[in-house]
A and B are shown apart, each in its own frame.
Chain A
Amino acid sequence: MIRSLFGNGRFRLSFSLIALIVVTALVGPRLDDRNPLFAVGGRYDEPSSQIWLGTDAIGNDVFLQLMHGLGTSLYIGLVAGVVATLIGVAIGTLSGYIGGLLDEILMGFTNILITVPTIVILVLLSVALQNRSTLLLGVIIGVTSWPWTARAVRAQTSSLKTREHVDVAKLSGAGTFGVIMREILPYMMSYVVMAFVLQLSSGVLNEAGLSLLGLGPSQSISLGKMLQSALQGEALRTGAYWAILPQTILLSVIAFSLLLLQSSLDEFFNPRLRRR
């Protein structure tokens, strides 16, 4: 299975990109122990052999910030992805497996959250919570983006629960929780993994979006906050492309490779999508 997965060009490409990004985020900050918030030069110094990507509006080393910001962004995305996937899977399986009134209530709630624009809830929550650590920001993003996962998981669960092995488990006296954990979840792991990949990507992007609105993590550098300070510092109009393009491109590459990964997994798990 793993081998045929690697036979897919899109999977190979996205997997290598993601591996590269993660390794950079883990190793990058350790290569240089200087404080990224410490000015090393003047306003928008051009890239040089010393300062690879030049400096930003207040003289910080862009490359150094990039290394630290990448980790923060991935961390927030990861927290958001885990939180959203956990809530989504919990609500989706309960709703789909138990059904009835509980299903109606949970899905009604889910659908309401889907229709109210996420950005609105995000902005209101972030405004209400004045001191946002990276962990808190990840959780905020996570609790606003689970409804998609819940909906997909519910659909999977309701089709899985009519399978024979579920009946057998029920007859042999397994409880609701046991059946969900042993007879339902393992059979839709592929969907859960794909949903997680999407949540991860939207988590990273939402962090950047919030930061751009001025609602980023309070004390840390993230790719989003770097974007915001570059935009506020008029990096583009000053021609200081080095202070704004790296984080833009990095964010886009992260999003692109995660989506590519998801689409190759989707094609792998659902052969129906493959061309006949």
Chain B
Amino acid sequence: MNPFGRYLLNKLFWYLLAFVAAMALNFFLPRLIPGNPVDAIVSQMAQGGGASGEAMQRVYDTYIVEFGLDKSPLEQFISYLGNLFRGDLGTSLGNYPTSVNSLIGAALPWTLALQLPTILLGWILGNILGALAAYKGGWVDRGAFLGSLAFSSIPYYGLAILLLYTFAVALPWFPTGGAYGFASSPSWTWGFIADAFRHYLLPFLSLLLVVIGGQAIGMRSMAIYELGADYVGYERSLGLREPRIVRGIFRNAMLPQITGLALSIGALAGGALITEIVFSYPGLGTVLFDAIRQNDYPVIQGVTMLITVAVLAANFLVDLTYGLIDPRIRTAHGAGA
């Protein structure tokens, strides 16, 4: 088999294993809660009042069947897998009888709109900044480095809160939360898009700055390392033009940054969830938060499952790109992944 195919298969194997592990966690951990989870849930719902005894019994029966608690653990696991592969994440407890699918479906677009552009734009801008800092040195470097260090070390929610306070409360330039104003409802009109954009800007910015900071730090140290490489001196003494040399340096420094991107996607996903909570943004983070408050296990499981799948898929995509770009993998002679 050619080296790239081997690289790909190896990666695929590990991602599948990670997926299985995550699924197992998803299945077993909620079952660790002492006692019958359905009892706990239903009694909690009963405490809240609201539902009649008859309705309660119906809910109870639904969950016994859904959790498959009348079956053996193995059968439970198999039916869990079956549901999962059919894309059925079950029914919400907190918002009975809404399906988890529809809850997540409503939140997902907002989360994607927030995360995808931050990842891509943040990665690109961060790498440019880091490269610039490494190449220019001096004050540019000091400023960019300390700034990046500050932004990348501040927790996502920290920056979110600071921005929210400064630009929505102290200076009331932006709305204090939500994805659009109370007066409007989602539609493809200019008015709504402008409104949504005003709500979007602060959470977007707070995530973007952190990503830029983290990527810039990584790029800077990689580029400093490459700047000192032997080939730079050799190319200079052959009279190569500086832009050519610099291009080579940054292409090489970029490669580990692609892996760095894969690794930061998971952390970003987590950070973005919390940023959504700060801004009351109606994405997966807010859904997860509400679910945790209401002990809504099907929703918690659904959200964690979705995040896992998305992060694993994104990682795999990045690894694939890396394999395509780096000639050392594309044409390696028996080198491992």
The short answer to whether A and B are in direct contact, CB under 8 Å, is yes
Residues of chain A contacted by B288 (CB below 8 angstroms): 123, 213
Across chains A and B, which 9 residue pairs bring their CB atoms closest together, nearest first? A119-B270, A117-B266, A259-B153, A128-B32, A124-B29, A128-B29, A252-B158, A256-B153, A112-B18
Residues of chain A contacted by B76 (CB below 8 angstroms): none
Closest chain B CB from A189 CB (angstroms): 22
Residues of chain A contacted by B137 (CB below 8 angstroms): 275
User: Which of B120-128, B162-170, B190-198 interfaces with chain A?
Assistant: B162-170
Q: Is B240 an interface residue (CB 8 A)?
A: no
Out of A124, A215, A231, A259, name the residue touching B277 (CB < 8 Å). A231
CA distance A96 to B300 in the complex (A): 37
Q: Which residue of A lies closest to B137 (CB)?
A: A275
Q: Is B103 an interface residue (CB 8 A)?
A: no
Q: Is A209 an interface residue (CB 8 A)?
A: yes
Q: Is B171 an interface residue (CB 8 A)?
A: no
Q: Is A114 an interface residue (CB 8 A)?
A: yes
Out of A113, A123, A124, A236, name the residue touching B176 (CB < 8 Å). A236
Residues of chain B contacted by A258 (CB below 8 angstroms): 153
CA distance A230 to B17 in the complex (A): 40
Q: Is B281 an interface residue (CB 8 A)?
A: no
Residues of chain A contacted by B271 (CB below 8 angstroms): 209
A-B contact pairs, 13 of them (CB 8 A): A116-B308, A118-B267, A119-B266, A127-B29, A201-B153, A209-B155, A212-B278, A241-B170, A248-B157, A252-B155, A255-B155, A259-B152, A276-B227
Q: Which residue of B lies closest to A208 (CB)?
A: B155
Residues of chain B contacted by A255 (CB below 8 angstroms): 153-155, 158
Q: Is B333 an interface residue (CB 8 A)?
A: no
Residues of B within 8 A of A (CB): 14-15, 17-18, 21-22, 25-26, 29-30, 32-34, 137, 149-150, 152-155, 157-159, 161-162, 164-165, 168-170, 176-177, 221, 224-225, 227-228, 263, 266-267, 269-271, 273-274, 277-278, 288-289, 292-293, 297, 300, 304, 307-308, 311-312, 315
B307 & A120 in contact (Cβ 8 Å cutoff): yes
Residues of chain A contacted by B269 (CB below 8 angstroms): 117, 119
Q: Which residue of A lies closest to B158 (CB)?
A: A252
Q: Which residue of A lies closest to B152 (CB)?
A: A259
Q: Is A237 an interface residue (CB 8 A)?
A: yes
Out of A116, A212, A275, name the residue touching B21 (CB < 8 Å). A116
Out of A111, A124, A208, A252, name the residue touching B25 (CB < 8 Å). A124
B267 & A236 in contact (Cβ 8 Å cutoff): no
Q: Is A100 an interface residue (CB 8 A)?
A: no
In the complex, which residues 236-261 of chain A have their Cβ closer than 8 Å to any Cβ of chain B? Answer: 236-237, 239, 241, 244-245, 248-249, 251-252, 255-256, 258-260
Given contacts A116-B21, A127-B292, 18 further A-B contacts (CB under 8 A): A112-B17, A115-B14, A115-B266, A116-B25, A117-B267, A119-B266, A121-B25, A127-B30, A212-B277, A214-B289, A231-B161, A236-B164, A236-B169, A245-B162, A248-B157, A251-B155, A259-B152, A263-B149
Residues of chain B contacted by A245 (CB below 8 angstroms): 161-162, 165
B15 & A115 in contact (Cβ 8 Å cutoff): yes
| Size class of the A contact interface (CB-based, 8 Å) | 35 or more
Closest chain B CB from A214 CB (angstroms): 5
Residues of chain B contacted by A213 (CB below 8 angstroms): 273-274, 277, 288-289, 292
B14 & A112 in contact (Cβ 8 Å cutoff): yes
Out of B17, B157, B162, B300, name the residue touching A123 (CB < 8 Å). B300
Closest chain A CB from B276 CB (angstroms): 11
B228 & A276 in contact (Cβ 8 Å cutoff): yes
A208 & B14 in contact (Cβ 8 Å cutoff): no
Question: Interface 1/0s, chain A 9-48, versus B by CB < 8 A?
Answer: 0000000000000000000000000000000000000000
CA distance A263 to B142 in the complex (A): 13
B308 & A108 in contact (Cβ 8 Å cutoff): no
Residues of A within 8 A of B (CB): 108, 111-121, 123-125, 127-130, 201, 205, 208-209, 212-215, 227, 231, 236-237, 239, 241, 244-245, 248-249, 251-252, 255-256, 258-260, 263, 272-273, 275-276
B153 & A252 in contact (Cβ 8 Å cutoff): yes
A248 & B292 in contact (Cβ 8 Å cutoff): no
> With A116-B21, A124-B25, A208-B157 known to touch, is A215 a contact of B169 (CB < 8 Å)?
no
Out of B32, B169, B292, B312, name the residue touching A115 (CB < 8 Å). B312
A117 & B14 in contact (Cβ 8 Å cutoff): no
B157 & A227 in contact (Cβ 8 Å cutoff): yes
Q: Which residue of A lies closest to B315 (CB)?
A: A115
> With A123-B304, A124-B304 known to touch, is A117 a contact of B311 (CB < 8 Å)?
yes
Q: Which residue of A lies closest to B17 (CB)?
A: A112
Identify the interface centre among A208, A249, A252, A272: most chain B CB within 10 Å of its CB: A252
CA distance A145 to B252 in the complex (A): 29
B228 & A118 in contact (Cβ 8 Å cutoff): no
A209 & B308 in contact (Cβ 8 Å cutoff): no
> With A118-B267, A209-B157 known to touch, is A128 a contact of B30 (CB < 8 Å)?
yes
A241 & B169 in contact (Cβ 8 Å cutoff): yes
Out of B33, B155, B263, name the residue touching A130 (CB < 8 Å). B33
CA distance A205 to B228 in the complex (A): 35
Q: Which residue of B lies closest to A111 (CB)?
A: B14
